[in-house]
Structure 1
């Protein structure tokens, strides 16, 4: 469970940095920007659900 929790935190941090790069205009020329943002959000959501399910099962 702890490794999934770490993975979730790392994914959220990655999402933060990608959003920061986007807000700064650094990703303006990147054609796949919207796909990248959607994918990292999907990964964060999946990992969050896994961690929540593991926590519920542990209790």
Structure 2
């Protein structure tokens, strides 16, 4: 689990253990970027490790 807010980041131990620190930083930056844009951003994130993370609609993430 990874939750990112304007001033707070929370990650559970499993996420911290499974995701490379460089990839985690890219995910955090991307999530903050998405939070600034229209709520229907839908794209894929390419991580430094070569993993591609499919995008999710921000509307879906907000519940």
TM-score (norm 1): 0.38
Larger radius of gyration: 1
Decide which structure has greater helix share: 1
